[in-house]
Amino acid sequence: MALPSNIPTSFVPHSAVAPRRFRADLTSAFDFLAYGVLGVVFILALGVFFYGRLLSSSQATKDAALAEAVEGIDQETIEDFVRLSNRLTSGKVLLANHVALSGFFDLFETLVPTTVRFASLHLSIDDMGMVNLEGSGAAKSFNALAAASTAFARDGRVKDAIFSNIVVNPKDSSVSFALSASLDPRLIAFSPKAAIAAPRTPAATSASTTETSTEDTP
Tell me what pLDDT residue 89 has: 86
Tell me what pLDDT residue 196 has: 42
Tens-binned pLDDT, residue by residue, of the chain (218 aa): 555 566 666 555 555 444 555 555 667 777 778 888 888 888 888 888 888 888 888 888 888 888 888 777 777 888 888 888 888 888 777 766 667 777 788 888 888 888 888 888 888 887 777 888 898 989 888 888 888 888 888 888 888 888 888 888 888 888 889 988 888 877 777 665 543 444 444 443 443 333 333 333 33
pLDDT digits (tens, 9 = 90+) for 101-110: 777 888 888 8
Quick count: other Cβ atoms within 10 Å of Cβ 150? 16
Tell me what pLDDT residue 174 has: 87
Enumerate domains of the chain plus CATH numbers. Answer: 102-216 (3.30.70.2830)
Q: Which helix (H) or strand (E) holds 218?
A: none
Tell me what pLDDT residue 4 has: 58
DSSP code string of 143-182: HHHHHHHHHHHHH-SEEEEEEEEEEE-TTT--EEEEEEEE
Give the integer Cα–Cα distance in Å for 41 and 102: 77
Q: What pTM value is reported for the model? A: 0.44
Tell me what pLDDT residue 23 has: 57
